[in-house]
Amino acid sequence: MKMKKVYVKYFLTGLVVLSLNLIHAQSIVVNSPNPTIVVGSADADELATGIEIMNISLEQKEIKVRRTMLISIDNTSNYFCWTACYIPSVSLSPSGLTLNGDSSINNTFTSHLKPNGQTGVSEILYTFFDANNPQDSANVVVRYEIAPVGISKVSSVASLKAFPNPADGKVTLSFTRSSLNGKGNIELYNMLGSKVYSQQVEDMDGTITISTENLNAGLYFYSLNEGGKSSRPGRLTIKH
């Protein structure tokens, strides 16, 4: 008789735990890269990206958004859109958006940043939560990496890759030019927008190796410039 009571007790306890897990299960999911990285130029009018939000429960949810600044760049501004586009001073959406069960929405939420000529890295944490149960939430970090003005015009053909990355001591840059007309320049910029390295290349493709020993640790941007147009800017982290 005691054994049966013990089994019944554990069975009921298991049901309670299972019920609590179901009650507190997360139903809001961010279905976008985390962090979501946006690379742009300091002379861009605005940088933006969309985020996909999912409701994996079977119930309708009213979802709100909260913005938290992790890393900011002076003299830039940012805002977000969710049911409406809010002014930069708004960090909590005044109203929620209704998302049906087992459904998703893509690019209804958008994050925006105006560089205003500044360079650097900005990170913004966005939290999507159930207005009726704030513990049911999901987070995503949007990271803006703003490159100097000198590499803003992008050529879709030329390419440049760096390895190893992060680099310590030296880095090799593998390049492919869009054509042999004229000469190309491989350029490296620091986060202040200053050009810290430049080397002319004449071959259609190849590699160059440069020393990083005299460069400060941190984030850099590199590109292959051809006639005023550059390859898509790449990111290089230097560690010592």
Q: How many CB atoms lie within 10 A of CB 97?
A: 19
Summarize pLDDT for 16-38 with one digit per residue, the tens.
Answer: 434 443 444 689 999 999 899 89
Q: How far is residue 86 CA from its own chain's centroid?
A: 20
CB-neighbour burial class of residue 218 (10 A; exposed 0-12, middle 13-18, buried 19+): middle
Summarize pLDDT for 177-229 with one digit per residue, the tens.
Answer: 887 777 788 999 887 778 899 999 988 889 999 999 999 998 888 888 887 67
Structure letter (DSSP) for residue 148: P
Amino acid at 12: L
pLDDT above 70 (res 69): yes
Both tokens of 167, joined, read 């680099």
Q: What is the pLDDT of residue 150?
A: 55
Phi and psi for 214 in degrees, rounded to 5? -95, 10
Domains of the chain, start order:
28-147 (2.60.40.1090), 150-238 (2.60.40.1930)
- Strand 103-114 to strand 77-81: parallel, antiparallel, or no bridges (unpaired)? antiparallel
Amino acid at 5: K
pTM here is 0.66
Give the DSSP H/E element, type plus range, for residue 15.
helix 2-24
Both tokens of 41, joined, read 């130029």
Amino acid at 161: K
Summarize pLDDT for 142-167 with one digit per residue, the tens.
Answer: 999 888 765 545 554 578 899 999 99
By C-alpha distance, which of 127, 161, 134 is closest to 231? Answer: 161
Coil, strand, or helix at residue 7? helix
